[in-house]
A and B are shown apart, each in its own frame.
Chain A
């Protein structure tokens, strides 16, 4: 989810190793930093799409969303904390009437912005404006390399919209924008096509893991990759260290050589999420009370939540390997993704539901689906269902 890629060793020159012997970088990251490295801020729950796998169950704006003044105050605070850049998402963030104002406000205060969009507001004029802005990066989301595959997940016409936005950015000379794809059972066979598409637009490809979060919980059983697909993807990624992953596939490192990245769950340690209401969660994939650390509206603001909340302190303590303690691969996969476990009903010290050694699957099957935790929901009243490809 992040996209500072944080290579450990495979990418030369991007990690300055200590001239003195110290404990591993991973250990230091686990203990938490003074400010997050990767902060996602969802500006609104409003969205003109209704993707079946939406991690935040977005659709309708929430009347309690932060006002412009409150959002500016958050940016002021991030500037003081030296948060280098933020990932803005939603919902569809460009729908917020003050979106461009907030982007400019952040940049003017030394906080770089990368925003994720479905592309619907990126016309030729906007693309030219973006191309002239420093410190702004754009990420266009698609979920299929063709309209049929994409639109089955993201809705009718969404592929054409996204591709038009990419063309506008390319024509405007924006440079290296990002194309972001959530890996599903239907689009993993298309990874080469996604790469070719990114190359054609001079863009960077970013592939991330599909989690059973938000509406993703309802479509997960149908859309999550097969075991063989996970293996194929692992080898494909190992061969292409230039493809960004937001460090999201670290559970695949149990297959052998570690993928580039920190290979650990960054929730509450180097990563967190601010939702449209100003609530602070441990990561973008756990919009649930269990992982709510506080609010930017509380006294002490975001900084106090990040540095002092009980939840984040707990997440920075050494975690128990639990059921995985006896597995020889725990050091590689660290037990996998907290969100993936939580929303499939697996204990947090149990294996990842997509454990490559197969330890997760029986637990998913055994979990009582009726008791599965449900996150908050801003979906529009119409049912959202994966309809299959045409």
Chain B
């Protein structure tokens, strides 16, 4: 399913995040894939997705400027494509 910035998402329950200086490493115990979350703000957003109705609400709450939203949406879409995020 394509990523839809208008709906609620959450981190897959089998994904673990490990803080790193550049952001975080994400590991999916189910499909054994690794992802790099290469910005601290992206980590904040990913961890707070489930608290918001839409990813955009999470961007807003994290204080991310709207001009940067498209790149964050792209990053989340990529995470959703490899099953790291699931529609809640």
Q: Which residues of A contact B (CB under 8 A)?
A: 4, 6, 12-20, 22, 25, 28, 33-35, 37, 82, 84-85, 110, 112, 134-135, 137
Contact = CB atoms under 8 A, between A and B. Distances in A.
A33 B20 contact: yes
Given A17-B75, A134-B29, 5 more contacts: A4-B33, A6-B34, A17-B78, A84-B34, A85-B29
B3 to A, nearest CB: 10
Interface of B: 16, 18-23, 25-27, 29, 32-39, 41-42, 68, 71-72, 74-75, 78-79, 81-82
B32 A112 contact: yes
A110 B35 CA distance: 18
Contact of B35 (A12, A14, A19): A14
Contacts of A22: 22, 38-39
Contact of A84 (B21, B27, B38): B27
15 contacts: A15-B36, A16-B35, A17-B78, A18-B22, A19-B68, A19-B75, A20-B68, A22-B22, A22-B38, A33-B20, A34-B18, A35-B18, A82-B16, A110-B16, A112-B29
A17 B39 CA distance: 9
B29 A84 contact: yes
Contact of B32 (A13, A25, A137): A137
A117 to B, nearest CB: 18
A178 B26 CA distance: 22
Given A6-B34, A33-B20, A85-B32, A16 B78 contact: yes
Nearest to A3: B32
Nearest to B37: A16
Contact of A17 (B19, B38, B41): B38
Contacts of A18: 22-23, 38-39, 42, 75
B48 to A, nearest CB: 16
B36 A16 contact: yes
A25 B23 CA distance: 12
The SS class assigned to the A binding surface is: loop
A364 B12 CA distance: 50
A78 to B, nearest CB: 12
B65 to A, nearest CB: 11
Contact of B36 (A12, A20, A25): A25
A4 B33 CA distance: 7
Contacts of A15: 35-36, 78
Contacts of B35: 14-16
A2 to B, nearest CB: 10
Nearest to A32: B21
A112 B29 CA distance: 7
B25 A33 contact: yes
B81 A13 contact: yes
A14 B20 contact: no
A14 B18 contact: no
Contacts of B36: 15-16, 25
A343 B2 CA distance: 50
B72 A19 contact: yes
Contacts of B22: 18, 22, 28
B39 A19 contact: yes
A82 B20 CA distance: 11
Best-surrounded residue of A13, A22, A112 (most CB of chain B within 10 A):
A13
